[in-house]
Amino acid sequence: MRTKRLRLVMSAVLVGALAAGCSGGGQEETPQETGPVELTFWTWAPNMDKIAAVWNAEHPDIKVTVSKQAGGDEAAAKFLTAAKAGNAPDLVQAEYQMLPSFVAAEAVADIKTEVEGVRAQFSDGIWNLVTLGTDGVYGLPQDSGPMMFYYRTDLFTKYGIAVPKTWDEYAAAARTVHAKDKTVYLGGFSSKDPGWFAGLSQQAGGKWWSITGEAWKVGINDDATKKVADFWGGLAKDGVVDTQAPWTPEWNAALNGGKILSWASAVWAPGVLTSNAPDGKGKWAIAPLPQWSAGENYSGFWGGSSIAIAEGSKHKKAAAQFASWLNTDAKALDLLIKEAAIYPAAKSGQALMTTAPEYFANQADFWQQATTIAGTARGFTFGPNVNVAYSAYKDAFDKALQNKSSFTDALGAMHDATVADMKKSGFTLAS
């Protein structure tokens, strides 16, 4: 009798355990959870763990654990792989251009209802980057990367050149400088930074992807972008701009040693200059990017990222609460600026930027200028296979630099590779 009852209990326990095991996903959505909700957060922003600690102290019911990631393509690949394997983190930092591929892979969730309250905090341009022009909301904007012109004030004086107002003036200055000293360049063309080229194309009015009705239109080799490619192709062919691979010790040395006099970069450049070109401290200044036509006033975006929530997350609501706090709460924005050196996407965050970066101590109005420039930046919709386009950019422009061949052809190769991939994958393309 006793053994029978024992066996009954045992089997009940076993069945219960099995049931729990099978229904793992559903079970945790019930509100009566014991203990705090545990969230994992993949990010490459420095000191994010410190910021999460502030959140954790104030919100004992939602505990966020930060896992520091490498940035760039690897981060995107890692997240997509993890999502496919079913063990993605709850929250992930996603560069704007990667969001469409995350959405297409069904790796990130539509959090429209969860983040309804914070829409007003962001400008339309930035908000478009997380909606992709659709009805959904696939992330919350964290930082943005409006582009501006960084230059060495002392060396501009030395070589007798003025800050170029137009790209024509830029080209003339590039020739002047290089003629005066063969080892010195006004600036460089990077075949390693497709995001940089995308930003310059945005400035020129290029639209690499756009949605018309229910179809994608790819315009990588549109007239605006061709203009940008031809411009740099001419300068590279004549050898008056630096074409070495950037981000190498060699490039750092050139940047630090005054061999490169300017850099068309984004608002996050002070961080790079501080660590890669420490000797230039106090010698650099910012100006708007040179324009394609005198009197115009445009910029583009290089980089910037959002915080997205994984489709597989079991705590989407809690994750959205944290993401909203992180990107809109005054205290969190202040921490993002101070601890993570981030240029916040939220309007209220940008207003908090008052003290110029230490590297630009000579330019007290650094952030006022940056904010003005940020207001002129225009972006475009990113497509679902940006990774293919970016990979093709590197290969095609690497080759063009090596063979001194046409940049227009390189751009064409990039366009064709992107379109071919979209066709093969079955996306509807506008003719």
Partner 1 sequence: MTKANRGARADRTGATPYLYLAPAVVLFTLFIAAPIGYTAYLSLRRVQFSGLGLGKKSRTEIFVGLDNYRTAVADGEFWAGWLRVLGYATLVLALMLGLALVFALLLDSARVRLARFSRIAIFLPYAVPGVVATLLWGFLYLPSLSPIHATLRAFGFDDVDLLSPSTVMFSMVNVAIWGGTGFNMLVLYTQLRAIPRDYYEAARIDGAGELAIALRVKVPILAPAIVLTTVFSIIATIQVFTEPMTLRPISNAVSSTWSPLMKVYRDAFVTGDLYSAAATSLVIAAMSVVPSLLFMRLVRRQAFGEER
- Among residues 93 and 101, whose Cβ is nearest to partner 1? 101
Cβ-Cβ contacts under 8 Å for 355 (sequence gap 6 or more) = 367
Place of tokens 């930046």: 377
Ranges of H-type helices in 163-302: 167-180, 194-204, 223-237, 249-256, 269-276
- Among residues 124 and 214, whose Cβ is nearest to partner 1? 214
The closest alpha carbon to 204, from 95, 305, 289, 97, belongs to 289
- Among residues 165 and 427, whose Cβ is nearest to partner 1? 427
- Among residues 66 and 417, whose Cβ is nearest to partner 1? 417
Q: How far is the CB of 65 from partner 1 (least distance, A)?
A: 25
Q: How far is the CB of 247 from partner 1 (least distance, A)?
A: 7
CA distance 186 to 268: 20
CB contact at 8 A, 335 and 325:
no
Q: What is the chain's Cα-based Rg?
A: 25
Q: How far is the CB of 421 from partner 1 (least distance, A)?
A: 7
CA distance 210 to 239: 35
Q: How far is the CB of 216 from partner 1 (least distance, A)?
A: 6
Q: Is 253 helix (H, G, I), strand (E, B) or coil?
A: helix
Q: How far is the CB of 350 from partner 1 (least distance, A)?
A: 29
The closest alpha carbon to 148, from 381, 359, 376, belongs to 376
CA distance 112 to 49: 26
Query: Is the dihedral angle over the CA atoms 109, 113, 119, 121 positive or is it negative?
Result: negative
The two tokens of residue 365 are 């109005």
Q: Phi first, then psi: give them for residue 42, nearest 5 degrees.
A: -95, 125
Q: How far is the CB of 23 from partner 1 (least distance, A)?
A: 22
- Among residues 202 and 385, whose Cβ is nearest to partner 1? 385
- Among residues 65 and 428, whose Cβ is nearest to partner 1? 428
- List contacts with partner 1 (CB under 8 A): 73-74, 77, 80-81, 84, 100-101, 103-106, 132, 134, 136, 191-192, 211, 214-216, 243-245, 247-250, 253-254, 384-385, 387-388, 391, 394-395, 398-399, 401-403, 421, 425-428
- Among residues 220 and 286, whose Cβ is nearest to partner 1? 220
Strands (DSSP E) found in 91-190 = 91-95, 140-152
- Among residues 18 and 253, whose Cβ is nearest to partner 1? 253
- Among residues 353 and 417, whose Cβ is nearest to partner 1? 417
Q: How far is the CB of 104 from partner 1 (least distance, A)?
A: 5
Q: Is 140 helix (H, G, I), strand (E, B) or coil?
A: strand
Burial of 53 (0-12, 13-18, 19+ CB in 10 A): middle
Q: How far is the CB of 395 from partner 1 (least distance, A)?
A: 5
Q: How far is the CB of 73 from partner 1 (least distance, A)?
A: 6
CA distance 429 to 431: 6
Strand partners, 114: none
